Structure formats: structure tokens, C-alpha cells
A and B are shown apart, each in its own frame.
Chain A
Amino acid sequence: MTNHLIQAYRQAPWRVQLQWIGLFLLALVLVASVASIYLNVSASAAAAGREIQSLEYDKTVVEQSIADLETQLALLTSAAEMEKRAKSMGFQPPAPETVMYIVVPEYAGRQPVVMAPPPGPQVRAQQPLLRPSYTQSLLEWLFQGFISNPLSIQQVQP
């Protein structure tokens, strides 16, 4: 009788097999999900890194180009060049007796060039170009979030 009862409540063998298969598949899906997420993040990080390398190069090229263009402009507007152009357009250097002076209220005269603001408090502290999330590993992130600063979790709780 007892054996009969036990037998009545035991899982059917095919059910046990199904459960194992289900568990295995679940683990497989989890591993695959983690792997695909990891792959995706790694690929994104690599792509971002590659883009950074490319942008660094572009930045150098642009900086060189700016410096070069500024010099080219200075060559085109050099004193000798401007004098040549002015003469070709019929201008002549003025003699003191030919100059006419007029009063312009509030005009303080020509002031030397100002190329940048004067020294003062730094508005924005220098930030690293890459955020830590691009460089730190999952473990580092976890350690940073849960171990190195455990109070922060309690602090946000109501």
C-alpha cells in the first residue's frame, strides 16, 4: 500500500527529464544572453575606441589646418601685400596735412587686440574625455557601486 502511494506521487520520468531539459535550456539561454550582451558591449566599446582614435587623428589634422590657414591668411594680408594692393587700387599714403579729424563721442581710440578673456576662476574643471563606464570592467563597476560606496544605496532609500 505504502509503495503504491509513493508511486502515485512520484513524478513521471518524462516530467523529470523535461524539467532537466528546461533547466539546461534556461541556463543555456542565460549564458547566451550574457555572452551576447558582453559581445555587444565589447563591440560597442571597440567601435567607440576606434572612433576615438579616428577623432583624435581628425582633431590633429583640423588643428594643423587651422594653424596653416591662419598663416595663409596672414601671408595674403601681410603689410607688403596690402600696400601693393592699396597702390594698385589708387590709394596713396596720407600726409599729415591731408588728414581730417572729427570728434566721435565715446570713442576711446583704437585699442590693442584682445584674443582671450583675462585670467579668472575656471568655469569648468578639466574632465577626462572618456567616461569611466567605457574603461572599467563589470567587476570594477560592481566594486565601485556596492563595496567601495555601500552607503549610497541606503542613502537613496526613503
Chain B
Amino acid sequence: MKVPHFSRFIFLGIVFGVVGLAIVAQMVRIQSSSAADQLRAQSEMYQGEYRTVYPERGNIYDRWGHLLAGNETVYEIGVDLQMIGNRDADPEAIAATLASVLGTDYVTIRDAARRPYIEGQSVYAVLTDFVTPEKVDELLRIKKQYADQAANARRSKKPNPTLNALTFTPHLKRSYPEHTLASNVLGFFSYLDRDKGRGYFGVEEKYNDLLAGTPLKVYIPFDPNEAQDIPEVPPGSSLILTIDREIQTSVEKILDEALVSTGAEAGTIIVTDPKNGEILGMATTPRLDLNEYWKYAELFPNPTPYNRAVGTTYEPGSVFKVLTMASALDNGSVTPETPFLDTGVFEIGGAYVHNWDGGAWGPQDMVGCMQHSLNVCLAWVASQLGPTNFYNYLQTFGIGHTTGIDLAGEATYPIRLPGDGQWLEMDLGTNSFGQGIAVTPIQMVMAVSALANEGKMMAPHMLHAMVNNGRQYDTPPQVVGTPIKPETARTITQMLSRSLESESSDALIEGYRVAGKTGTAEIPTEYGYSSDLTNASFVGWGPIDNPRFLVYVWLERPRASIWGSVVAAPVFRDVVKSLVVLMDIPPDEIRQQLNGQ
């Protein structure tokens, strides 16, 4: 039986078949054409993007967890150039609004917003950055007002400008909530340079790599079907410093008051725990508000060091005598009772050494020599020790070498040694009382920590712990050396305590026995040493039966008096008065009673 209209069916089948084949052929042709390659290349732009994910910079805390350096949200304000091109927003209105709210330059903003839109190349323009959330709120309010007005105007068919093209992108910037506090220790992060910002000075520079973390370049597809597991970019490590915020605040305040009362040009105070080398406070001048780090050049004109405690070497003067005496006691060259007849002059290497007052102090023992800070006596002590032993001791005390403290910019000054061609025999005499030799305050602190810690010299350090990937890694204290025996350390401590008490020093604190030594060093100039310009210092520690703190004070060119005993010793006392409260150290009598219970 023949199907009716069979030929028509055949015809329709052929037509549809041909059309289908034509469609397939066209599809193949389009897919394989050169235009298809271009389209595919163009489409890749819309498939996703490679984005570099910068980890959040690690925080910096003091030893109790107070934030010293963190991050806060600010906004980048930009403009969508396509919307400007489509006349959805008005460059003039944008420029005027930003000028009124942020104080930006009208012409600069307007010209930036007028940049032509070029697809794939010029689609977005940054107008300004680091805008606070409060200012952004104000801008958003104005933007909404413009949008409302534009909506009303559309109803009445009048053109009205809008700020619709404005975009607000939040990001983090470095912030220092304590402003100038510990600024010389922290350093700063140059956050204004978002691509190449890095830490400068202090902890920010020393631990820049740890704080910054590792940026990661990732591909982020726009197609939700291809949403990928964006790898976790851990934030930079956070640092817990050994600094105690309250102690730091206190020593900075005391230093500032001392500079005013003594007329000193600059000053430095370091507070450490001699048992583990932890820096509890480090104050120096000048101090920078780290949130305005770009004022650095203004505040630190060349060659002002950023942190005098680690970056400036100076002739320390009589505080250095504690090392000379400790070396001689340890070597057995002298004992506290060794007699010495001070005639007011001592000849060494063809040079004559005189006392600070030019006088002769007659019969003395070693305690008296330290009490009256007799240069003649200490030069004699060094000669008894001999140059080889003396300089060997100085080297084991770390003099002439950096301490390795974890702060950027540590300086050192090499010491002249016998046999190196520059050393003269007279250097032994002058070096014994801290002239003709240069150290940084932190070098002195490290060396003297051996005297306060049973002969063990601890590495000074700032980092208490590091928090990385959810784990806290504590920094163990490090013994750098044992330059003297424990008995020597106890003996010199007793000697220095007695000498302070005998002279009723301004460094004494009621209820607490401390050991210490003043220093007054003449400053070398191109015309020789200047006797009316001095560096006044004091180094001391206590309580002497169980030292909890070691304090170093250095005042540069004080005007009220040139003597360390007059200007630096009271500063030490003020610091210790504050420390015993902040560190919960009871007076000796109460402490001994408590220990006896």
C-alpha cells in the first residue's frame, strides 16, 4: 500500500536534512575560522582573572598582648569609566564632591574620571586611596542624594548628574594605635606604597618577611560552575615582643622629663631583664608618630640615628669601669680590699692619666676606687691585668661586636687591639675608664648583664614569641657567653652597691638595694676632647640579691650639669621607682620575709 503524499514527506526530509547539514557546516566553519580564535582569546578575559592575594600583615603586640601595630580598613575610591562613557555619571559632580568631602584637587579628579573607556584596557581609574570609613559613609550619603535627585529628575524628564560610577574598595592599611610609643623599637611600614611597601627600621624591618607573609597568585574564574577552591593565604606572622607597654610608657615619660630638666640634647633609657636578655623598655629620642611615617625625614635629618640605643656608638666613660674592675676581679689581679695609693696621676705608654677632678685621693681600696670613680686607679688596675687579658675580657664581654639584637640598624665600632698597628700602650689606660673606645648602649647592657646574672651574659632580644599558622613559637633566652665567674659577678655587685650607698648616690631607692655606676665621658671633637660637653650615663641593676631589672641611662650633652652622678643617677632612680611598682617587686625587707614564709 502506498502511503499518501509519500513524495512530499521525502521532499520535506531532504529540505530539513540539507538545512541541518548547512547549520552543522556553518558551525564547523565558524568554530575553525580565524575570527573564532580572536573571539576565544577575547572571551578569556571574561572567564576569570589572575589575582595576587596579599596576606594581611602580621600584628605586633607587647608582652601582655596589647596591640602595638595592627591593620585598619580604609577605602580606595575609583570610577567605572564605562558608566562615565555611557553618561550614567558626571565627572564634574564626582570631582566637586570629592573636593568638598576629602579636599582633593578638583581638576586632577575630574581629568582622571574623564579618561576614555577602552574595553579590556582602560575600564577603571583610581581617584584616591586610604579614605577613612567615616568619609566613605559621607560620600555614600551624598551619592544617594544624587541618585534620589536623578530619579525625581527622570520623572520630570530633566537631566541630572549622578555619582553612580564611584566605587569604594576596602583594604587594610598599617596602623599604630599607640602613635609614638616605642616608635624607635617598632619601626614603620610604608603602607602608602601598596605594591612595594615594606618595613623600615626596628622590628618592622628586621622581621619584614615574617610579618608580610607570602603573597599568592591565584586564578579566579568568573563562571560559578568553575568556582575553585581559592587556596587559603595565611596572614603574616604576628609578633609578641618582650616590651612591656606600661614600662615603655613610663621610661619614655621619665626620659622626656629628664631632657627638659637637664637640657640634654638627646637621651636613651634601656630596661632589660638580666636573667634572660628580654628588653622590657627602650626609650630614645626623637620619636615619630608611626601613623605619619612620611615625616621621618623631617624628624630625623641626616645623620640622626633612628634608634640611638642600638644605632649610635659613643665613648661611655666611667660606666665602662665596671667591666674593667669585673675583669680584674675575675682574673685575680685585684680583690675588693686591694689597696691603692692615688697620687692623682698615672703614667702609661708615655701618657699621663688624671682623675676626673684632677685631684689625688690618697689611700683607697677597690671599692673606694669605684665609689670615687678614679681614673688613675682603674688605669692601674688595667695595667695589673695586662693588655692581653684586658682585651680578651673585653672581647668576651662582646665589646667591638654587634650584639645581634633583633632590631634593624645595629651599629658597632671596632676596638683597637694590641698588635693591630693602631693600638698604643696608652689606650690600655684610657680604655680602662671608657675613653678611646666606643660602644652602643645595647652593647653595654649586654656586657653588664653578665655582672647582674651570675656571670652569664644573655643575648638582648625583642621577640618574645611568634604566632604563625595558629601556633605560638616562643623565643628561648640565649646565653651568649660567660665572661666572668659567678663569684666575681656577686663580688662586683656587692662592691657597686656599697659604693653607691657610701656616696649617698642620687640613684638609691628607699627599701631596695641596687648596684650601679655613673659615667661622665668627654666628647671627642676635631680639636680634641671637650670638657664642657659630656655624655652622662648610669648603669645599674637590682634588687641585688635577685636582679629583676637592669637599667641603662644615657643623656647626651646635658646642660644642667656635665656629671652623670648629677643628671643620670636621678633618672635611674625614677625609672627604678616606677619599675618596682610595675613589676610587682616588693621592698627587700618584705620580699625576704615573704621568701622566709
Q: For A110, list chain B residues within 8 Å (CB).
A: 64, 584
Interface readout for B465-495 with A: 1 if CB under 8 Å, 0 if not?
1010011111000000000000000000000
Contact yes or no, A113 B228, CB < 8 A: no
Interface residues of A in 54-70 (CB under 8 A from B): 56, 61, 63-65, 67-68, 70
Nearest-CB distance from B484 to chain A (Å)? 29
Instruction: Using C-beta atoms within 8 Å of the partner chain, give the interface range for chain A.
Output: 35 or more
* CA–CA, A21 and B472, complex, Å: 73
Residue from B181, B229, B472, B594 within 8 A of A118 (CB atoms): B472
A139 within 8 A of B: no
Interface residues of B in 150-192 (CB under 8 A from A): 170-172, 175, 177-179, 181
A80 within 8 A of B: yes
Contact yes or no, B472 A116, CB < 8 A: yes
Instruction: Using C-beta atoms within 8 Å of the partner chain, give the interface range for chain B.
Output: 35 or more
- Assess A68 versus B66: contact at CB under 8 Å? Given A53-B224, A75-B177: no
Contact yes or no, A68 B72, CB < 8 A: yes
Q: For A48, list chain B residues within 8 Å (CB).
A: 224, 227
- Which of the candidate stretches A3-11, A30-38, A39-47, A141-149 sits at the interface with the other chain? A39-47
- Which of the candidate stretches B55-63, B435-443, B500-508 sits at the interface with the other chain? B55-63
Q: Most chain-B Cβ atoms within 10 A of its Cβ — which of A48, A112, A120? A: A112
- Assess A115 versus B467: contact at CB under 8 Å? Given A56-B230, A96-B587, A103-B594: yes
- Assess A113 versus B64: contact at CB under 8 Å? Given A64-B170, A70-B59, A118-B474: yes
Contact yes or no, A68 B71, CB < 8 A: yes
A49 within 8 A of B: yes
Q: For B471, list chain A residues within 8 Å (CB).
A: 116-120
Q: For B465, list chain A residues within 8 Å (CB).
A: 112, 115
* CA–CA, A78 and B232, complex, Å: 32
Contact yes or no, A50 B245, CB < 8 A: no
Nearest-CB distance from A85 to chain B (Å)? 14
Residue from B226, B238, B594 within 8 A of A101 (CB atoms): B594
Residue from A47, A49, A65 within 8 A of B73 (CB atoms): A65
Contact yes or no, A72 B72, CB < 8 A: yes
Contact yes or no, A47 B577, CB < 8 A: no
* CA–CA, A107 and B514, complex, Å: 26
Residue from B59, B181, B473 within 8 A of A119 (CB atoms): B473
Residue from B66, B70, B238, B246 within 8 A of A115 (CB atoms): B238
Which A residues lie at the B interface, using CB under 8 A? 42, 45-50, 52-53, 56, 61, 63-65, 67-68, 70-75, 77-80, 83, 93-97, 99, 101, 103, 109-110, 112-120, 126, 128-130, 135
Give 9 A-B contacts (CB < 8 Å), ordered by A residue. Answer: A53-B227, A63-B56, A68-B72, A95-B577, A96-B512, A96-B580, A112-B64, A112-B465, A119-B472
If A45-B224, A70-B59, A78-B181 are given as contacts, then 6 extra A-B residue pairs at C-beta distance below 8 Å, sorted by A number, are A52-B224, A74-B67, A96-B577, A113-B63, A115-B465, A117-B472
